[in-house]
Amino acid sequence: MKILPKSIEELIDGISSLPGIGPKSASRIAFFLLRAPKELSDNLSTAITQARDGVKLCKECYHYSDEEICPICSSDERDKSVIMLVEDALDLLAIEKTGDFEGVYFVLGGILSPMNGIGPDEIRLKELLDRLKKSKSKSKEIELIIGLNPNMEGESTALYIQKEIDANKDLRGKVKITKLARGLSSGADIDYLDEYTIRKAFEGRSAL
């Protein structure tokens, strides 16, 4: 017996397809939307469409933006010769939240992952090289900080980018590549950490 109207089943299916939401939470959210003031569900429905249709990508860094160039890239206070490479906008937001970084970003839009069929053409590798070429006109050396996730895919993507830069006559020797430090995260329990993290922390130890 079909005990739910088709439109509710479709709503639950739609919500289930979102990341981190199982079928149970999806039902809860669906019934919440049905009971909540109509304004709330209308607003959410509109917000989804508007964000999707209205938002552009910054032409410099590919972060989401209302304008052609995002506020970070167009700011006079940001150092354009220091570029932090991030995988996606969530990582950008997390780094920006520290308030410590005064350079600009480049959103790669993914990470090399042959297993998942993501090769150099599926991410913004060409766009990154173009961006670096444009930046080189200034006298200063460009610093590219690798801010990719510290896992195998992040590291092989970084190596691939390094090779591409070395193989490019316009960029070779003009771009200093650095990466975020590896080590103990704040509040970590050493006895719960994996050997790899501890090894990295040991290798990168510094004077007290």
Residue 167 CB, nearest approach to a second copy (Å): 30
What are the residues whose beta carbons fall under 8 Å from the beta carbon of 115, sequence distance 6 or more?
none
Nearest approach in angstroms of CB 68 to a second copy is: 12
- Closest CB 102 distance from a second copy, rounded Å: 11
| Rounded Cα gap, residues 186 and 120, in angstroms | 34
Minimum Å distance from CB 169 to a second copy? Answer: 34
Token digits for 73? Answer: 């890239």
Taking phi first (over 0 means left), then psi (-120 to 50 degrees means alpha), and beta for anything else, what does residue 73 get? alpha
142-146: strand order across its sheet: 103-107, 79-86, 142-146, 175-179
Beta bridge partners of 144: 83, 177
Residue closer to a second copy, measured from CB, 38 or 169: 38
Nearer to a second copy, 51 or 159 (CB): 51
The angle subtended at Cα 48 by Cα 46 and Cα 54, nearest 5°, is 90
Nearer to a second copy (CB atom), residue 96 or residue 164: 96
- Euclidean distance between CA atoms 37 and 44, whole angstroms: 11
Binding residues (CB under 8 A) for a second copy: these are 1-8, 10-11, 13-15, 17-21, 24-25, 27-35, 38, 40-52, 54-55, 63-66, 70-72, 75, 88-90, 92-93, 96, 191-192
Q: Whole-number minimum distance, CB 122 to a second copy, in Å?
A: 12
Nearer to a second copy, 35 or 169 (CB): 35
Smallest gap from residue 136 Cβ to a second copy (A): 26
Chain centre distance of CA 181:
18
Residue among 33 and 180 whose Cβ is closer to a second copy: 33
Residues in the chain: 208
- Nearer of residues 95 and 177 to a second copy, judged by Cβ: 95
The CA distance from 51 to 64, in Å, is 10
